[in-house]
């Protein structure tokens, strides 16, 4: 089950061009000559595109890329276009879209364009399943931006353009689901997300929470920099099935090790403890308490989340 968070999103013609791989000139020509879509107009007369518009334009571009002339396919329904594309694997289409979005987001960061970066991050959630956005778009883009910053190729300001855009969008996703933790409308086991004392980096755990939201899991996001006893007490009181912890900066690996062992001891045995993040690998060589599961990637977390959801499926 994949949640859709892009139904009410609106995009400029520039953002649509970047998301579809079509030039602005091509978009205007297709609209004028073939009437492929009819975007509404803003107060100033500028075009405003919906998620459905973007999805249709991407499908048209993919169809023409397969050799079908635009004049022959412009008036086909979305279902008819899908039939023309049925020989292409969805995996290939997702990969192509993800690669394009990574490139465009990096371009927005490099050129100091926060609004454009915001639009592209929103576009990713509108076009792809949440799991693919996290694993194939946001994670590699954040890694690349971090690497360039460490090499002095990007400024801290440019890094913040991306991290702030990701935080805003992912928090929006979580706000959609957070209420399900307590109002009874959610299904499946509950996962509590947090970081330990001294760990203030929260993008990783935020994105894991968004991944959990794409399955039939309930989520409870506590936030960053919390003592082990606070996390354990909360998890027990809300009936959590799992506590997920992110460790990004394991500079003091011994202190982090002590906190994780303390958390495991305080948690009732039925509650699982998953630990991931950039610092997880540094902890792999240390002796941790039995029952602590180390995850080295978002895909590891995704697989665990899928298994957890299936294990509790009705």
Average pLDDT in the chain: 85
Q: Are residues 40 and 164 in the same domain?
A: yes
Pick the closest to residue 242 from 301, 192, 298, 182 (CA basis). 192
Percent share of the chain, pLDDT over 70: 88
Q: Are residues 76 and 154 in the same domain?
A: yes
Query: Does residue 158 register a pLDDT over 90?
Result: yes
pLDDT digits (tens, 9 = 90+) for 245-292: 998 865 667 888 889 999 999 999 999 999 988 777 777 667 777 889
Residue 304 domain-assigned (yes or no) = yes
pLDDT digits (tens, 9 = 90+) for 3-16: 344 445 688 898 88
Q: Are residues 31 and 162 in the same domain?
A: yes
Q: Are residues 288 and 222 in the same domain?
A: yes
Pick the closest to residue 273 from 313, 246, 237 (CA basis). 246
Residue 176 domain-assigned (yes or no) = no
The residue from 116, 137, 170 where one domain ends is 170
| pLDDT score recorded for residue 1 | 36
Residue 1 domain-assigned (yes or no) = no
Q: Are residues 217 and 295 in the same domain?
A: yes
| pLDDT score recorded for residue 5 | 40
Residue 87 domain-assigned (yes or no) = yes
Q: Are residues 155 and 254 in the same domain?
A: no
Residue 129 domain-assigned (yes or no) = yes
* CATH number, domain with residue 259: 3.40.50.280
| pLDDT score recorded for residue 72 | 84
| pLDDT score recorded for residue 290 | 84
Q: Is 26 exposed, middle or buried (0-12, 13-18, 19+ CB in 10 A)?
A: middle
Residue 2 domain-assigned (yes or no) = no
Residue 146 domain-assigned (yes or no) = yes
The residue from 170, 194, 224 where one domain ends is 170
Which pair of tokens denotes residue 225? 């920099």
Contacts (Cβ under 8 Å, ≥6 apart) of 274: 242, 243, 244, 245, 293, 295, 301, 304
Query: Does residue 241 register a pLDDT over 70?
Result: yes
Q: Are residues 126 and 96 in the same domain?
A: yes
Q: Are residues 23 and 116 in the same domain?
A: yes
Q: Are residues 205 and 278 in the same domain?
A: yes
Query: Does residue 311 register a pLDDT over 90?
Result: no
Query: Does residue 235 register a pLDDT over 60?
Result: yes
Count of structural domains, the chain = 2
pLDDT digits (tens, 9 = 90+) for 87-118: 555 555 567 788 889 999 999 999 999 999 99
Residue 217 structural domain = 183-311
pLDDT band at 83 (very low <50, low <70, confident <90, very high): confident
pLDDT band at 183 (very low <50, low <70, confident <90, very high): very low
Residue 3 domain-assigned (yes or no) = no
Q: Are residues 228 and 287 in the same domain?
A: yes
| pLDDT score recorded for residue 234 | 97
Quick one: three-class SS letters along 251-296? CCHHHHHHHHHHHHHHCCCCCEEEEECCCHHHHCCCCCCCCEEECC
Q: Are residues 192 and 260 in the same domain?
A: yes
The residue from 104, 136, 170 where one domain ends is 170
* CATH number, domain with residue 37: 1.10.1660.10
Length of the chain: 314
Name the helix (H) or strand (E) containing 23: none
**Average pLDDT, stretch 158-162?**
96
Q: Are residues 20 and 162 in the same domain?
A: yes
CB 105 within 8 A of CB 163: no
Going across the sheet that includes 272-276, the strands are 218-226, 190-196, 242-246, 272-276, 292-294
Q: Global pTM?
A: 0.68
pLDDT band at 314 (very low <50, low <70, confident <90, very high): low
């Amino acid at each position: 089950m994949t949640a859709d968070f892009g139904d009410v999103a609106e995009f400029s013609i520039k953002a649509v061009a970047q998301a579809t791989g079509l030039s602005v000139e091509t978009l205007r020509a297709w609209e004028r000559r073939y009437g492929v879509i009819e975007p509404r107009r803003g107060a100033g007369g500028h075009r405003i595109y919906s998620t459905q518009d973007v999805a249709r334009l991407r499908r048209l571009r993919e169809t023409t890329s397969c050799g079908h002339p635009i004049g022959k396919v412009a008036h086909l329904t979305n279902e008819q276009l899908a039939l023309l594309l049925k020989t292409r694997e969805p995996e290939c289409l997702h990969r192509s879209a993800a690669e394009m979005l990574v490139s465009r987001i990096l371009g927005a960061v490099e050129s100091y364009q926060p609004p454009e970066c915001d639009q592209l991050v929103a576009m990713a959630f509108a076009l792809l399943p949440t799991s693919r956005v996290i694993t194939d778009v946001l994670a590699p883009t954040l890694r690349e931006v971090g690497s360039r910053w460490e090499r002095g190729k990007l400024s801290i300001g440019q890094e913040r353009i991306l991290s702030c855009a990701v935080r805003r969008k992912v928090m929006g996703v979580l706000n959609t689901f957070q209420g399900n933790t307590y109002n009874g409308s959610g299904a499946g086991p509950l996962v509590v997300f947090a970081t330990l004392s001294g760990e203030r980096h929260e993008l990783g755990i935020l994105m894991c929470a968004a991944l959990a939201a794409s399955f039939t899991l309930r989520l409870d996001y506590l936030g960053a920099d919390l003592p082990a006893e606070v996390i354990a007490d909360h998890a027990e009181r809300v009936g959590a099935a799992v506590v997920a912890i992110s460790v990004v900066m394991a500079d003091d690996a011994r202190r982090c090790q002590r906190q994780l062992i303390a958390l495991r001891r305080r948690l009732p045995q039925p509650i699982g403890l998953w630990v991931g993040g950039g610092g997880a690998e540094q902890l792999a060589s240390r002796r941790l308490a039995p029952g602590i599961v180390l995850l080295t990637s978002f895909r590891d977390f995704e697989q665990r989340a899928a298994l957890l959801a299936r294990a509790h499926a009705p």
